[in-house]
Amino acid sequence: MKKPETLASPLSLQAAGDNDFSDEPLLTAKRASKALNLPLYYFTKTAKRKALGLPFYCVNRLVRFRLGELHQWQIAYAHKLQEEQVAALDVGGANA
């Protein structure tokens, strides 16, 4: 049986390595919000998406997300927030 062809180029697949999400379906903002248990406006508002650094794709005028990339972002963002809290405590307390 013939293996289905992927839409990604061989070079991009090689560069992606373990972080290849090209086989994942694209999610709407509503589904991404439910999957990550985050507010819907994080995904629908352009300024909030950019401020948070959410990974997204524009398909014509539609905004779509890949769950694997969002999961990696969520882990990195939580780590960043934790580092900021530790730095704030080191400087002079949580309310400094």
* Per-residue pLDDT at 12 exceeds 50: no
Burial 25-55 (b: 16+ CB within 10 A, else e): ebbebeebbeebeeeeebbeeeeebeeeebe
DSSP strands (E only) in the chain: 57-59, 62-64
Size of the chain, expressed as the number of residues it contains: 96
Note whether 66 and 24 are within 8 A (CB). Answer: yes
Over residues 33-80, the pLDDT tens digits come to 999 999 999 999 999 999 999 999 999 999 999 999 999 999 999 999
**pLDDT-derived band of residue 11, with 50, 70 and 90 as boundaries?**
very low
Chain CA centroid to CA 31, Å: 13
* Per-residue pLDDT at 1 exceeds 80: no
Which residue would you say has higher pLDDT here, 93 or 22? Answer: 22
